[in-house]
Amino acid sequence: MNSSLTLTWSTGQLWGTAQVPASKSESNRALIIRALAGGGDLRNLSDANDTQLMQRLLADPAAPVFDAEDAGTVMRFLTAYLAMTGRQTELTGTARMQERPIKVLADALQELGARIEYLNQDGYPPLRLLGRTPQPATEEADFTELKVRGDISSQYISALLMVGPTLPHGLRIWLTGKVGSRPYIRMTLALMQHFGAQCRDLGEVLEVRPQAYEATNYTVEGDWSAASYWYAMVALAPAGSHLTLPTLRRYSWQGDQAIVAIMAQLGVHTEFLADETLRLTKRAPNASLTQDFTDCPDLAQTVAVVAAALGIPTTMTGLESLRIKETDRIAALQNELAKFGGSLTDEGAGVFQVSGQDFRVAGQTVATYHDHRMAMAFAPLALLGPLTLEAPQVVRKSYPQFWRELEKVGFVTDPTPAPVF
């Protein structure tokens, strides 16, 4: 693995076609649901490491230990899947994963009859799963009910929803407090419905009826989170630049399609063409931006870097979940933006201000903190000057061909990244 990669842009307009990976979020949900359904053909699965890992782990159901590595969806979804299917095994992950809380999900699963022990620190992986005490199917009940905080990772809620149809009385989840990343919850419900589940979103209440999933085929859409980095490149490129992105739907289940409206304010116009293809064109940006990222936290790094680089004052809210991602993304952004003359300032009450009046790209080295989104959010700055990114292979988590796609549209990488399979 290369320890660093220097990225440069020669001169001139940016143009061409970039291939984005299939949606990791859709892929990992579809894999869990297919396992619960007992079959179905999944087409265009993501080549991201998280999805490849999920496939490998699901293919070995009798494994004594499941290693989720650094994959949040794999850890959360497998915890619910293994617990509710009565597996007796251990579930672990990287050192960073063992710092990411899972107590809210584990507590909810224990209410549903799962027997779970913490092997090290209470409330955190690794876990020992000791099977499940089934609920009696004959007991009179409308739904099995849970109360779950809405201000924690939506992956907890999605994990519970997906196992809901397997419960004798289904599941009714009452969401308490502010609900974050709701589009991911809607995506989960839509995929469940595609596989035959009866479920609905009633706002603060989510309902799933007891009914076996149906083995069904599904084709995964391109990833809007990955598309956001190409939006960033067009925003920072010279006037007249344009890019084409295939496999992205106008009517998408993915919350990160919000990048269309956000980047319109930062100078990128989106035109939807036929055959699930869109065209991005450079335009003049607005003078300022205010954005709530509650429903699209994975876009925050991309937008912060572009806003700072363009010197556009930007107010950001809804960043609470960034503290418990692959790294503390708020601290990482603050550290790395400062190297270029930018800043992300905590104004209190959940409000952050981006500034970049003295922003300059001149060969700085960006630390990536074992976080794929840090690498890809800062890479577009190469359009403004050379920069070096540490641990470039971290992109394998969600976008293994990212550096190759940059080379195809004219970026120069040194050294050439090793192939990622």
Active site residues: 298
Matching residue, tokens 């995964």:
220
CB 156 within 8 A of CB 148: yes
Q: Is 96 annotated as a binding residue?
A: no
Residue 287, phi then psi, degrees to nearest 5:
-80, -20
Q: Is 128 annotated as a binding residue?
A: no
Phi-psi region of 267 (alpha: psi -120 to 50; beta: other; left: phi over 0): left
Q: Is 24 annotated as a binding residue?
A: yes
Q: Is 100 annotated as a binding residue?
A: yes
Matching residue, tokens 């924690």:
152
- Three-state secondary structure call for residue 176: strand
Q: Is 178 annotated as a binding residue?
A: no
H or E element that contains 49: helix 49-58
**In whole angstroms, what is the distance from residue 395 CA to residue 401 CA?**
8
Q: Is 325 annotated as a binding residue?
A: yes
Between CA 124 and CA 128, with CA 125 as vertex, the angle to 5 degrees is: 120
CB 74 within 8 A of CB 58: no
Q: Is 103 annotated as a binding residue?
A: no
Q: Is 153 annotated as a binding residue?
A: yes
* CB < 8 Å & 24+ apart, contacts of 29-33: 29/73, 29/77, 29/158, 29/162, 29/187, 29/188, 29/191, 30/191, 30/218, 30/220, 31/55, 31/58, 32/58, 32/77, 32/78, 32/81, 32/162, 33/162, 33/191, 33/192, 33/195, 33/213
Q: Is 339 annotated as a binding residue?
A: no
Q: Is 298 annotated as a binding residue?
A: yes
Q: Is 397 annotated as a binding residue?
A: yes
Q: Is 329 annotated as a binding residue?
A: yes
**Residues placed in the known binding site for phosphoenolpyruvate:** 24, 72, 100, 155, 329, 373, 397
**Residues placed in the known binding site:** 24-25, 29, 72, 100, 153-155, 181, 298, 325, 329, 373, 397
**Residues placed in the known binding site for 3-phosphoshikimate:** 24-25, 29, 153-155, 181, 298, 325
